[in-house]
């Protein structure tokens, strides 16, 4: 685990303990905010720990947090963190992780029932003691039992590609219900995070009871968690929780904004509204008349804006912000949002596999699929010899493969088929083929597939060496991570970006939803520096081309425009750039 990840974990746990002991909410939120900042940083925070001013210059990190960060870098520990952990039974953090158990309930069970861990919770659940606690009862105990059972088999967040398929199926199902007008998903899924906690569905309808009933009875529902005309929650057989909120048509924009988030983005919007003498909530943007005992919508106050997000942003003197970048990372400071890349901008696939290695398509099938998608170019990039598990090509087989690709390119009209390879980067940075063979290829994607637990310095040297190779066009899935399965490498991203700029090499967003590597914060750093980005599907089957949309979402979260994406270039510009490395 990187220093940033370790410190993010520490600050996050400190925030949880502070909640548990009833600390000041400002202190709780400050620690949670630092945890988020550290998680998103691409610079190793240890490099800034020689000077507190470097840390406090980062928005959201105060003097106290900087002191803790420096202490950890120098000693490997944070004294205040250890003291906080010692102030509670450490097993309580595991109890707090159970869905539905907030800090107040956990504190009550700890102080009144002696529950200090998951083991003691399981033991006391069947003793009858918990039912006697205030605000508990048999139903609450039954829900805790179910949450425990669920948590035992579903501890991970759902990957973007899996969540989006579920959400789209639910939207399609509910759209068919009589009286349904608009049905959309919101939440972190709409923002395009690489993993999703739960799915939020918003609907407008002339028959709230019908759509809510249909939602709770739809195929795949394992359990109904909440039932009502305007709000219902279910747990699917896949383990994902889905929440439905029925919204008034006139408030749809406000609700869409509110439930899309992020929480931090919404906080900044509400603060801006207050400064302008307004109040913003999920029902609309209202004039602040000083009456705060009851929400303005319940008092019949007419909103300044509510029906569309665009109207609310405009009323706050802001440009509309695309949902993918609503993360409180400076998006509200811009006066004009750049035209972020879209699916239709992509005109080339430069990383795809055939039956020559571990793909399921022939060269012809790959070419026809790419042509059907409207691409002007597709590169055949089967695995190199070291990827034995992927039937990597020996030098002899690769040369034969190059000839086959050239022949197909002559025969198949309407698309250019390039001969390439996804070449393994060895642990020391050497590539899997010699330079003479690499020079025969139209496209070289250099990717790490092994030694993915290297320390950060070794990983940085390795990848910078590959990026600096004059025959390499693209650094493929740079960290080698697999979401929910493997962390991958933790290189110095700034060093990679500088090498990419110096050698005019592109950094890849691998659009496979199990990878999404580069991840969003890495893309943003590369975009800010002016580096080139490739968005490739790494297609092995025809339907893998559908992964492209997940890469696009990730690219948009990193503020990528078509100008910096080589896959969005014209045929002439792309091919000229590829030839420049030959």
pLDDT for 293 equals 72
Q: Is residue 105, in this structure, part of any structural domain at all?
A: yes
Looking at the fold, whether 313 and 173 belong to one and the same domain comes out as no
Q: Is residue 165, in this structure, part of any structural domain at all?
A: yes
Q: Is residue 440, in this structure, part of any structural domain at all?
A: yes
pLDDT for 151 equals 66
Looking at the fold, whether 56 and 128 belong to one and the same domain comes out as no
For the record, the structure tokens of 217 come out as 């009875």
Looking at the fold, whether 355 and 486 belong to one and the same domain comes out as yes
pLDDT in tens, 293-304: 788 888 889 999
The CATH number for 432's domain is: 3.20.20.140
pLDDT for 152 equals 60
Q: Is residue 459, in this structure, part of any structural domain at all?
A: yes
Residue environment code for 477-498, b if the CB has 16+ CB neighbours within 10 A, otherwise e: bbbbbbbeeeebbbbbbbebbe
Looking at the fold, whether 457 and 532 belong to one and the same domain comes out as yes
pLDDT in tens, 317-336: 999 999 999 999 999 999 99
Domain boundary among 269, 297, 325: 325
pLDDT for 154 equals 54
Looking at the fold, whether 96 and 80 belong to one and the same domain comes out as no
Give the domain range for residue 307. 251-325
Looking at the fold, whether 59 and 163 belong to one and the same domain comes out as no
How far, in Å, CA of 130 to CA of 148, rounded? 15
The per-residue pLDDT string of the chain (582 residues; one tens digit each, 9 = 90 and over) reads 688 989 999 999 999 999 899 899 889 989 998 998 998 888 889 989 988 999 999 989 999 999 999 999 999 999 999 999 999 998 998 888 887 788 888 888 898 889 999 989 888 888 888 888 887 878 778 878 877 776 665 557 899 999 999 999 999 999 999 999 999 999 999 999 999 999 999 999 999 999 999 999 999 999 999 999 899 999 999 889 999 999 999 999 999 999 999 999 999 999 999 999 999 999 999 999 888 778 888 888 999 999 999 999 999 999 999 999 999 999 999 999 899 999 999 999 999 999 999 999 999 999 999 999 999 999 999 999 999 989 999 999 999 999 999 999 999 999 999 999 999 999 999 999 999 999 999 999 999 999 999 999 999 999 999 999 999 999 999 999 999 888 899 999 999 999 999 999 999 999 999 999 999 999 999 999 999 999 999 999 999 999 999 999 999 999 999 999 999 999 999 999 999 999
How far, in Å, CA of 120 to CA of 63, rounded? 39
pLDDT for 291 equals 82
How far, in Å, CA of 109 to CA of 148, rounded? 15
Q: Is residue 21, in this structure, part of any structural domain at all?
A: yes
What total number of domains does the chain contain?
5
How far, in Å, CA of 581 to CA of 532, rounded? 15
DSSP E strand boundaries for 128-211 = 158-159, 180-185, 195-196, 199-205
Looking at the fold, whether 129 and 22 belong to one and the same domain comes out as no
Looking at the fold, whether 117 and 42 belong to one and the same domain comes out as no
Q: Is residue 454, in this structure, part of any structural domain at all?
A: yes
**Rg of the chain taking only CA atoms, in angstroms:** 26
Q: Is residue 498, in this structure, part of any structural domain at all?
A: yes
Looking at the fold, whether 22 and 106 belong to one and the same domain comes out as no
Domain boundary among 194, 227, 246: 246
The CATH number for 174's domain is: 3.30.460.10
Looking at the fold, whether 81 and 143 belong to one and the same domain comes out as no
Domain boundary among 33, 61, 86: 86
Looking at the fold, whether 37 and 124 belong to one and the same domain comes out as no
* CB contact at 8 A, 344 and 567: no
For the record, the structure tokens of 26 come out as 């400002």
Q: Is residue 333, in this structure, part of any structural domain at all?
A: no
Q: What is the DSSP secondary-structure string of 358-394? A: T-SS-HHHHHHHHHHTT-SEEEEEEEBTT-GGGTPBP
For the record, the structure tokens of 366 come out as 């790959």
The CATH number for 319's domain is: 3.30.210.10
- Number of DSSP helices (H) and strands (E) in the chain, helices first: 23, 16
Number of Cβ within a 10 Å radius of residue 353: 23
Looking at the fold, whether 484 and 348 belong to one and the same domain comes out as yes
């Amino acid at each position: 685990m990187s220093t940033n990840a370790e410190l993010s974990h520490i600050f996050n746990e400190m925030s949880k303990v502070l909640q548990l002991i009833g600390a000041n909410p400002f202190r709780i939120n400050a620690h949670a905010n630092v945890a988020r900042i550290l998680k998103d940083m691409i610079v190793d925070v240890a490099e800034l720990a020689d000077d507190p001013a470097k840390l406090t210059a980062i928005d959201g990190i105060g003097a106290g947090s900087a002191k803790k960060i420096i202490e950890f870098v120098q000693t490997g520990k944070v004294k205040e963190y250890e003291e906080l952990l010692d102030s509670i039974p450490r097993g309580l953090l595991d109890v707090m992780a159970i869905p539905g158990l907030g800090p107040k309930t956990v504190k009550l069970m700890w102080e009144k029932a002696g529950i200090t861990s998951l083991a003691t919770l399981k033991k006391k659940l069947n003793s009858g003691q918990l039912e006697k606690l205030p605000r508990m009862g048999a139903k609450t105990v039954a829900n805790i039992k179910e949450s425990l059972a669920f948590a035992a088999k579903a501890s991970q967040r759902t990957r973007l590609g899996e969540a989006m398929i579920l959400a789209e199926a639910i939207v399609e199902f509910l759209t068919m219900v009589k009286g349904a007008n608009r049905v959309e998903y919101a939440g972190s899924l709409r923002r395009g995070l690489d993993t999703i906690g739960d799915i939020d569905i918003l609907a407008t309808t002339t028959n709230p009871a019908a759509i809510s009933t249909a939602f709770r009875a739809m195929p795949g529902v394992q359990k109904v968690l909440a039932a009502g005309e305007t709000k219902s929650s279910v747990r699917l057989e896949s383990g994902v929780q889905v929440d439905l909120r029925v919204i008034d048509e006139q408030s749809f924009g406000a609700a869409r904004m509110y439930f899309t988030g992020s929480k931090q983005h919404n906080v900044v919007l509400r603060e801006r509204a207050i400064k302008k003498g307004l109040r913003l909530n999920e029902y609309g943007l209202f004039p602040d008349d000083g009456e705060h005992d009851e929400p303005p919508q319940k008092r019949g106050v007419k909103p300044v804006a509510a029906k569309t997000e665009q109207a609310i942003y405009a009323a706050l003197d802001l440009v509309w912000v695309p949902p993918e970048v609503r993360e409180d990372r400076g998006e509200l400071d811009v006066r004009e949002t750049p035209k972020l890349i879209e699916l239709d901008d992509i005109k080339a696939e430069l990383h795809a596999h055939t039956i020559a290695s571990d793909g399921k398509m022939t060269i012809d099938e790959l070419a026809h699929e790419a042509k059907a998608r409207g691409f002007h170019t597709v590169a055949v990039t089967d695995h190199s010899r070291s990827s034995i598990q992927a039937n990597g090509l020996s030098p002899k087989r690769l040369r034969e493969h190059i000839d086959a690709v050239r022949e197909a390119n002559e025969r198949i009209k309407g698309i250019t088929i390039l001969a390439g390879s996804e070449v393994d980067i060895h642990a020391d940075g050497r590539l899997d083929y010699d330079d003479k063979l690499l020079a025969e290829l139209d496209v070289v994607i250099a990717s790490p597939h092994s030694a993915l637990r290297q320390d950060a310095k070794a990983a940085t040297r390795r990848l910078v060496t590959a990026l600096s190779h004059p025959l390499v066009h693209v650094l493929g899935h740079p960290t080698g991570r697999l979401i929910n399965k493997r962390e991958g490498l933790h290189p110095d991203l700034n060093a990679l970006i500088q090498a990419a700029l110096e050698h005019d090499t592109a950094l890849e967003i691998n659009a496979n939803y199990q990878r999404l590597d580069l991840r969003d914060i890495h893309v943003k750093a590369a975009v800010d520096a002016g580096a080139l980005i490739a968005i490739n599907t790494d297609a092995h089957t025809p339907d893998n081309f559908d992964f492209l949309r997940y890469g696009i979402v990730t690219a948009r979260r990193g503020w990528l425009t078509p100008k910096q994406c080589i896959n969005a270039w014209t045929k002439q510009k792309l091919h000229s750039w590829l030839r420049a490395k030959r």
